[in-house]
Structure formats: structure tokens, C-alpha cells
Structure 1
Amino acid sequence: MKAYVCERYGAPEVLTVQERPQPVPQDREVLIKVHATTVNSGDCRIRALNAPYGFRFMMRLVLGFRKPRQPVLGTELAGEVVAVGKAVQRFAVGDRVLAFTSMAMGCHAEYRCLPEDGKLMPIPAGLSDAEAASLCFGGLTALSFLRRGRLQPGERILINGAAGTVGSALVQLARHQGGEVTAVCSTTNVERMYALGAAQVIDYTREDFTQRGERWDVIADTVGNAPYRRSKSALNDGGRLLLVLASLPDMLPAPWVALTTRHRIIAGPVSDCVADLHILVELAQAGVYRPEIDRCYPFEQMIDAHRYVDGGHKRGSVVIELLPD
């Protein structure tokens, strides 16, 4: 099978397409022919070893010092089951499935083996392969932070970086949970944010949300440029700042802020569990949540997709399509 391999950290050009043995499913595994996968900001950070300030050494410890221990990137996929292990009960050959592999990665390949009891679900009716492949990264991150932030119906939530993969998921899921959503984005994305359910949209090219004199119960920063020192004046009493992307210095004040103010800083790793994947699939089936797709690239243009994501201005997900035989 063909797979894109990252054997050293660096620019998109470090990726090479290689022939690798097709995996064989173990007793409780399924073999999936990948029809679509994504290139997200996490893939690009791993490829480039581009960690927020203070986390570079830790990133090397987790991923590999000189090169990635898992050289095939990609955390989400959609495809078709083409073989099953002898003990598999939940899936059969021919099933359309979506999956999230998290730090195990390995989705930028033509085939992927996964355990049947992992983050693996049937694709809901009406969802394309591209949409199914884009469901997990943004949606699971958004669900995790909204749960930890304890968003309540009727509360005001501002989402900084609302047009990205995580941001657009936050807009939809926060609205579904009863939040009054303010989206912060560029001029070209204003109408899209209203279409996703935002009650108010702030164009960051024209004004700074912290200078409007407004306050919110929850502020979610997906960009990394709205730390507590900048956002505190825009938080209500009891307000929560969700740092989806943050440097170590921006996270360290969290205990002191909790002790000395009526605010909370919430940051750290996402808890992506199977139960949350079930929730996302149900919401997608009900038409409540739909992942936003910026553009699609053929498998052969994986490097171009990485270059585009590196630019930092994608709107939703960037999908890689592998056409079925």
C-alpha cells in the first residue's frame, strides 16, 4: 500500500510517499480501505515539531527526539471495511466507517487496521466520506472543552478563531447546548458564522473583542492569541477561559487565577473518548453538527495540503481524498 511517511521533522517537503506492507487484521481488528482523511493543524505541528512555547522538549519526549516514532501521520479517516478478524462482531466487510486514531495516527495511508472496540463508528446516512473523515478532530476537541468549561444554557460564549476546524465545531456545539455564541473571525468568514448559528460576529480585522466593553461567561481561544492577561477584562464574574491552544507561560497562571479571582483558566490535553464519538455521530445524524470543509486534495497532493494548512488561514477541515477501486 502507499503511505505518506515523515522520517524527520521539518517543512512539508520532508513527507515522502512509500510502498509499505498492507496490514493484516488481528482477531478483534478490522482492515479499512481509506477513502478520505484530513490534514489538520495537529498533523502539521507534529511534522514540523512546532510546539507552543515551553512544550518543545515535552513534544520530543512524546513523539520522538530525532524523528517521529510513528512516521505515518493522520488522526481521522473514513472508509470501507475490507477484512475482519475472526473474533470481530460489530462490523462486517462492506461497512462504511469513520475512525479517530488520536496520537496513534497512521491515517495518511491507503489502509489502516483498527480494533473494533476503538474510536470506530458506522458512517451516518447522508454523510459523505469527506464529511465523515472531518467529524472527529474538531468535534471531539470542542466537546471536551465545552464539558470542562461547563457551558450552561443561556450563557454567553465567545469563540476566538471561530472559522477553523475546532472553532466551527465550537460554534455549532455551543449553540446546540443553549449558549449565545459570539464568533470572532476575519471578514470573509462573517456570513458563514451566522449560517452556523452565531448570534453575533466580530471581525477581528476591524475591532478587538476585548475593547468592546462587552463581557462573556466563557471565552474559547483556538488561536493562541487571547491569553488571560488579554481576555480577563472581557470575562464575567465566574467566567471561564478555555485555552484550546496556549503556551506554557499562558497556562501556568491557572491555579493563581482560580485562588485570587472569580475566573478559571481551563487548558491541557483533550480527553477524546468513545462516548464522545457516539455523541458526535448522533448529532451529525440529527443534522445538528456538520463539519466544515475548506477544500479537498487528492492523495497525491498531500504535501500541497500541508503547505496550505501551514498558512494558518484554513476555514474548517482540509480533506485528502483516496478514490475507491
Structure 2
Amino acid sequence: MKVITCRKYGAPEVLQLEDWATPNPKKNEVKIKIYNTSVNSADWRIRKPDPQVARLFFGLTKLKYPILGGSFSGVVETVGEGVTKFKVGDRVFGSTGIKMGAYAEFICLPESAVMTILPKEISFSEGATLPFGSLTAIDFLHKCKIKKGQSIIIYGASSSVGTATIQLAKNFGVNVTAVCSKSNFKLVQSLGADFVMDYEEFHSESHQKTYDIVFECVGKSTLNSNLRLLSKDGVLVLVGALFGQMFHALWISFTKGIQIKFGPITETLENLEFLSDLSKKKKFKVVIDRSYPLEAMPEAHRYVEAGHKKGNVVIDIFK
């Protein structure tokens, strides 16, 4: 089978196309023929790595698991002994977890993994891009104990996480202000944003309004710029926080009692199925910016790392 490997840390050029033996499922595993995967911020940050502390989790000098890719859609091709949840021919989608491995034509996963049936109403491309941003958004919103009538401002609202957060916040009955480039105003408004502003207006001294939730998706604003907009007893979410920002946030939380959420998310099957149901009912839309063939993975990484994508970038493996 064809795979894209990352055998050393570095620029997008370290990603190489290789031929590997096709795996066979073990007990309680299913083998999936991957139709689509995606490229997101986590992928390029691990590849680079950025921050360097990521080496502690993924390998000091090289990646423990050389095939990146955390989300997928495809079809069950073979089931291992003891599998009861899935059968051959099932359309499925989900997340591969910390071992990644979705930059490949086939993957074997335990049937207990965070994956579920892909409804016929959702395309393979949508299924492959749904997990990352959406599971991140919903986990953080749950951690904020979000409730109807609150206000949220989303910084980086046209990103994968941002586009998901807009829609989920509206689903929970929250008033949404989206912060993004002016060129993306129509996009975020089409997803349900009540108010929009560009980054210059966000940082302006004239921006005095406060919000129950300040949701920073892309790690490009300072802690102070976000904290000044936080209402009393509000929650600041730092999706793209680097190690130094996390340490600073911990100190502020400890010394000032401000609620700041950051760090790894918890991916759950319950959340994935909730998102699937919303998508099936046309209450949630996956925004796809571009698609690339598997062989063009370095180009896809280069584009995502540049930070200008709208929503998600999908990789076509089988059509």
C-alpha cells in the first residue's frame, strides 16, 4: 500500500511517499480502506515540531510512529476475530488517536476506537475532515459549561476549529462574534455568526465589550489581549497555545482565579456521534477549502502551515 512517511522532523519535504505491506487486522480490529484523510494544524506542528517540547510525546530525535494523519473516512474491508460493531462494507469515519497513521491507503484500528458509521448524507471528504476541528471545538465548549444566552468571541473564526465552534455555539443558543480577515466575513456569517470583526478591530482600544467565553483558535493573540475582553467569571479558551503560553496561563489561573482552558482534548465516541447526527440533519456544515492527492502531501502541509486556509484541507486517497 502507499503511505506518506515522516522519518525525521523538518520542513514539508521530509514527507515521503513509500510502499508498505498492507496490514491485517488482529483480534477485535477492523481493516479500513481509507478514502480520505485531512491535514490540520496538529499534523504540521508534529512534523516540524512546533513547539520543540512535542518531541517528548512523539519521539526525541524522530517520530515513534512515522505515518502522520489523525482523521479518516473509508470502508471496512476486513474484520478481525471478535468484531461485532462493524461489518465488511461499512462506511466509517473517525479519529486514529495519538498513534496517527491515516496518511495511508489502509489502516487497522480496534473496533473500540473513536470511529462510527458514516451516514449516507455525509461525503467521504466531509467525514475525513469532521473529526479534528469539530471534536476540538465541542470538547472545549463542554469544558466551558456553555449554556444558552451566553456570549462568545471566536478569534480565528475561519479556521477548522473556528468554523466548527461558530456552528456548535449557535446550536447551544449562544450569541457569536467571529474574528477573522475581512475576506472571510461572508463565510462566518453563513455559518451563523451574529457579529463579525477583523483582527484590527479586535485589538483596537475602542473594542470594550466583554464576553462570557473568549475562544482563541489559532494561537496568534496575546493572553492580555484576550483577558481584557473576558467578563467576570468568564472562560478563556486557548486552542493553539504553545508551552510558554500554557505555563503563563497556569500562573494566571492560580494567582488570579481566572478560568483558562487549554491542552489536549478528550476525543469521545459520544461527541463524534453527536456531530455526525448534526451533520446528517444539515445542522452542521464541514467547511472544505482545498483537496490534494496523497502524493501532494508536502504541498498540502505547506499550505496549511501558512495559516490562510478556510476550514479544512482534505487528502484524496481513493475515489
After TM superposition, is the score higher than 0.5?
A: yes
Question: Does 2:13 correspond to 1:13?
Answer: yes
- The CA distance in 2 between the partners of 1:320 and 1:136, in whole Å, is 14
When the two structures are superposed, what TM-score results if normalisation uses the length of structure 1?
0.94
Cα deviations by residue, 1:101-128 (Å, 9 ceiling, x for unpaired)? 1211000000011111211111022111
In structure 2, the CA distance between the partners of 1:210 and 1:265, relative to structure 1 (3 Å rule), is farther
Alignment partner of 2:115 out of 96, 120, 132: 120
- 2:2 is equivalent to residue 26 of structure 1: no
**CA contact 2:201–2:207 (8 Å) conserved in 1:** no
- 1:256 CA displacement: 4.8
Give the fraction of aligned pairs with identical amino acids, expressed as a percent.
Answer: 39
Determine the C-alpha separation between the residues in 2 that align with 1:254 and 1:37. Answer: 33
8 Å Cα contact 1:254-1:264 kept in structure 2 = no
Counterparts of residues 25-64 of structure 1 (less than 5 Å): 25-51=25-51, 56-57=52-53, 59-64=54-59
Please state whether the residue corresponding to 1:151 is helix, strand or coil: coil
Residue correspondences, number: 319
Alpha-carbon distance, 1:229 to partner: 1.5
Question: Is 1:88 paired with 2:77?
Answer: no
Corresponding position of 1:155:
150
Contact 1:227 1:246 (8 Å CA) reproduced: no
Which of 204, 211, 214 lines up with 1:216 in the alignment? 211
Is residue 81–residue 93 contact of structure 1 (8 Å, CA) maintained in 2? yes
- Structure 1 residues 155 and 209, CA, compared in 2 at 3 Å: closer, same or farther? farther
Match of 1:79 in 2: 74
The equivalent position to 1:188 in structure 2, one of 180, 183, 203, is 183
Root-mean-square deviation (CA, aligned residues, Å) is 1.6
Aligned to 2:290: 295
Give 5+ residue unaligned stretches, structure 1: none
Q: Distance in 1 between matches of 2:104 and 2:183?
A: 33
Q: 1:246 to 1:305 in 2, by over 3 A?
A: same
* Cα contact 1:124–1:284 (8 A) shared by 2: no
Tell whether the 8 Å contact from 1:154 to 1:179 is kept in structure 2 after alignment: yes
| Matches of 1:277 and 1:103, distance apart in 2 | 17
Contact 2:76 2:91 in 1 (8 A): yes
CA distance in 1 between counterparts of 2:102 and 2:204 reads 38
Residues 210 and 233 in structure 1, CA contact (< 8 A), matched pair in contact too: no
How far apart are 1:255 and its partner, in Å?
4.9
TM-aligned CA deviation for residue 205 of structure 1: 4.8
Counterpart code for 1:37: T
After TM superposition, the structure 1 = structure 2 runs for residues 252-267 of structure 1, keeping only pairs within 5 Å, are 252-258=247-253, 261=256, 263-267=258-262
Runs (5+) with no aligned partner, structure 2: none
The Cα shift of 1:260 comes to 5.3
**CA deviation after TM superposition for structure 1 residue 137, in Å:** 0.3
C-alpha deviation, 1:26, in angstroms: 1.1
Distance in 1 (CA, whole Å) between partners of 2:250 and 2:295 is: 47
CA distance in 2, matches of 1:256, 1:73: 33
Partner of 2:81: helix, strand, or coil?
Answer: coil
SS in 1 for 2:61: coil
Q: Any idea what the Cα deviations from partners look like across 1:259-278, whole Å, max 9, x if unmatched?
A: 55463211121111222112
Letter in 1 for 2:166: V
Match of 2:161 in 1: 166
Per the alignment, residue 176 of structure 1 pairs with 171
CA distance in structure 1 between the aligned counterparts of 2:143 and 2:204, rounded to whole angstroms: 23
Distance 1:11 1:258, change over 3 A: closer
Distance 1:215 1:194 in 2: 21
* 1:66 is aligned to 2:79: no
